[in-house]
Structure 1
Amino acid sequence: MGRTGQGPQAGKNALWVLAGHAVVLGVCIAGIFTQSDTVPDGQCEGPGSSCPPSPRGSAFLALIFFGAPALTISLVVCLVTVAIVAAVRDGPTAGTNIRARHIGSR
């Protein structure tokens, strides 16, 4: 028979995964704000020259195009893993009403 009482533990594990990903996102956003918002001198001079984005703009673009998709995929994989582990650990009786099983066995 499957172990009971594991359901809340799976929820706590999912919250820890979500909190860990939120911390990583917070560190990335804080890293963006530590970058300079100005372009170094000499990079926007001359006719026909295009200005590159500032270091802060480059970091923001990297977060949007690379960091956010990677973090989203990582979050989904981790949450699916937590759900699979919880389902395997709880066994086929997961999600059944524990009280109803005890009442029926009397």
Structure 2
Amino acid sequence: VDIEAEAVLGPGEPPLRLMLALFEDGLQSRVSAGENEGRLLRHDAVARTLAGPFPLSGAKTTLKRHLRFADGQRPGASGAAVWLEDERGRVRQALAAHCAGG
């Protein structure tokens, strides 16, 4: 997946960093112990590939990256997420989109 993200920092903004992820919906796991033993749990928005942090420099930064799907990842059930976080990991802005065909 080719991702292009542009971030514009306003005057006086604290240092921020950009993070990227490919995620997959519709995963399942069978629980083998504990209070959910024997249950089949379903999971969406599971991060399968993570890239970053990419420090932002200047008022405007454009980042282009190619991310590969994880082994066995289904492109039709996948998407990309991009978010800005501060130095403490607090998310300032985020967005996500499903891949074509998903």
Range into which the TM-score falls when normalised by the shorter chain: under 0.3
Instruction: Select the structure with the greater relative contact order (CA < 8 A; seq sep ≥ 6).
Output: 1
Larger proportion of helix: 1
Bigger Rg over Cα: 1
